[in-house]
Chain A
Amino acid sequence: MILSKINTCKSGLMLMLLFVGFNQTKAGNEVAASDSVKPAVRYWQSSIGLSNPSYRDFATSPLFYRGVGFNISTGWLKRSAKKERLFDMLLSVAPMSATIPASNYLKRAVTSTFAQMSLRYVQLYEIKSLSQHKNKYKAGFALHATQNFRMNRFLQNNAAGVENVSNVMLTGQVMRDVSRSSEKKVNLLFFKPTLKPVKRDLRFQLNVGVLNFNYRPGYAFAYEGYLTSNTSPLLWILNNYSWSLNGWRTQGELELFTYLEGGNARSWTYVWSAMHIPGKFENFQMAMHQIKYTVFFQRTKKKS
């Protein structure tokens, strides 16, 4: 049953890639993506957005915690037709709550606080055999380290959850030139704006973990470890955490990248990520939807 569902999901992803990869035969008459992606453009980028995380830690609860929060990130991007490198750091914070069954007695809100810090490095190379005039395909790898901080006071000594998820991921990207090459009038009944020509790309990137490391608590979650007069409470909590190599993680992002005059750029990005972490004993599952608005400031290369 589950396998068939996963196959359905895979089929969906293939369908989506077809949409993004779309009609290459039409590309010849329109503005080329390569026009807007000159060799080795360097950007410093900064973004802000909304997050919608949900997680479930079977070590402490069978319930999903969900919330809406915000995220900020910063990083740098170096992009050329042949190669692309990205490094970014993201912080996401959200108040969370579990959906619990209705009570005939007293209602109770079970809440927690969730924060996530992520570091990501992506390196991509052009796939020349697939890339054509309007569509550029790239593939490569990503290194992605994520540290969660969860605080749920209702869980007593298990209030703090601090799992780490670090992955080596395979990455595929398709970037489609969706520029508007000429002015276009839009008829919206009372409002008839004229849209100016604009250079922009629609980019889809998919990351799939191939080496999935995670740092999770031991069998009983709480652990009474080595205690001395000088023991740090934080280290004491982490005493029985250990690394495992298992589970899966995937991340997809869709970005509409608009080039501005003067070499800068901005983009809207939708990011979806999911992870399943068995650890050594009990599963941790998490998904997150994010909408980000990013500004890119072109950096000039220092002359030596």
Chain B
Amino acid sequence: MKRIFIPLMVITIVFSSCEKIVFKPDQASSDPLTNFDYLWEELDKKYSYFELKNLDWNKARDYYRSRLNANSTEEELFDVLAAMIDTLRDDHSNLFSPFNVSSYNIAIRKPANFNWRTLNEYYMPNMWSTGVFSHDFLDSGRVGYIRYGSFMSEFTEEQMDFLLKRYKDTKGIIFDVRENGGGSVFNVPKILKRFTQTEVTAGYFITRNGPAHSDFSERENFIVTPYDGIKYLNKVVVLCDRGSYSATTLFSLATKAFPNMVLMGDTTGGGGGLPNGGQLPNGWTYRFSVSQLLDLNGKNFAEDGVPPDIQVSFNGNDLTRDEILERAIAEIK
């Protein structure tokens, strides 16, 4: 048996040692400066909106790195990294530690333009719930109202069929995405394809593809192809506000390319970039935007928010009225 075990042991030892030789050691580290440098470099290599936001990233490194040293605590490290990320003014850029998550929180920097109770109590007390949608008639049946609270929420084509059949005889639909913080981009064309009978190019995407802040891929098209089934081609008023973020900003920007759609309310929160994700040497994770959303003229303003076609504000002093909703009804009339 020795003849078997000796070579077996030799082979096992040699292979195990080879693995340690051919790969560099694990780079796990709790050193604050190592973690700072790693995050700064990843952002420098891949973040997509330095130019739009006019950020001097080298200056940011000098400023924030000087606030750390080898003995900085985890809490101090988190605060410094979070502050550096916040200079991006981007809610797609966050730091995730076991004890806290950083967020720029765009939605609370402007007034809210939505109050669920106002809608429910004073306009539609018996609203229907179909899957993720809340909906009802307004203005004596002449207007349909559909509320979609999150693009994270999945829905079926049958549910969309049901909604559009119910409101097929209305003059217009109000599609409310205020305070919709985004979610799956695939749900954006899934809704929009119901509102057109022709193919619509609604925007473009570009993604970082090189180390210079201006290195981007070729434009990728965002095209809405019409649904082969029940559609709604009357006027659609989309309600948005600063809480309409990420996929909802994509949705809002796309409405500009639809002749039967009107965007109303406040400028959206933005979040035009696709966030990627990564991990620091200390195990914390992060995400930040690596792409840009462009309008049909190739402009990237959507990152800072899509302005509405009709600006209307919600007056929080009188919670019996939703001024944005009433303006939308008037627009359809």
Q: Name the interface residues of A78-130: CB closer than 8 Å to any CB of B.
A: 98-108, 110
> When the two chains form their complex, are residues B38 and A230 in contact, meaning their CB atoms are under 8 A apart?
no
- Classify chain A: how many residues form its interface, as a range: 35 or more
> When the two chains form their complex, are residues A227 and B185 in contact, meaning their CB atoms are under 8 A apart?
yes
> When the two chains form their complex, are residues A101 and B15 in contact, meaning their CB atoms are under 8 A apart?
no
Considering the chains assembled together, what is the distance between the CA atoms of A252 and B220 in angstroms?
44
> When the two chains form their complex, are residues B15 and A228 in contact, meaning their CB atoms are under 8 A apart?
no
**With known contacts A19-B6, A100-B28, A110-B279, A222–B222 Cβ distance under 8 A:** no
> When the two chains form their complex, are residues B8 and A101 in contact, meaning their CB atoms are under 8 A apart?
no
Q: Most chain-A Cβ atoms within 10 A of its Cβ — which of B23, B30, B224, B278?
A: B278
Contact residues in A for B221 (Cβ distance below 8 Å): 226-228
Contact residues in B for A103 (Cβ distance below 8 Å): 30, 74, 98
Considering the chains assembled together, what is the distance between the CA atoms of A108 and B221 in angstroms?
40
Q: Does B105 contact A (CB under 8 A)?
A: no
User: Residue B98 contacts which of A19, A107, A223, A272 (CB distance < 8 angstroms)?
Assistant: A107
Q: Does A159 contact B (CB under 8 A)?
A: yes
> When the two chains form their complex, are residues A158 and B276 in contact, meaning their CB atoms are under 8 A apart?
yes
User: Residue A156 contacts which of B97, B186, B287 (CB distance < 8 angstroms)?
Assistant: B287
Chain A 48-62, CB-CB to B under 8 Å as 1, else 0, gives: 000000001000111
Contact residues in B for A16 (Cβ distance below 8 Å): 7, 10-11, 14
Closest Cβ of chain A: how far from B161's Cβ, in Å?
15
Residue of B nearest to A287 (CB): B19
**With known contacts A63-B279, A98-B283, A229-B227, A274–B22 Cβ distance under 8 A:** yes
> When the two chains form their complex, are residues B10 and A5 in contact, meaning their CB atoms are under 8 A apart?
no
Q: Does A221 contact B (CB under 8 A)?
A: yes
**With known contacts A12-B18, A101-B28, A157–B276 Cβ distance under 8 A:** yes
Contact residues in A for B283 (Cβ distance below 8 Å): 63, 98, 100-101, 108, 110
Chain B 50-69, CB-CB to A under 8 Å as 1, else 0, gives: 00000000000000000000
> When the two chains form their complex, are residues B220 and A227 in contact, meaning their CB atoms are under 8 A apart?
yes
12 A-B pairs with CB atoms under 8 Å apart are A5-B22, A8-B21, A9-B21, A62-B26, A107-B98, A110-B283, A155-B277, A155-B278, A157-B275, A202-B7, A218-B209, A220-B207
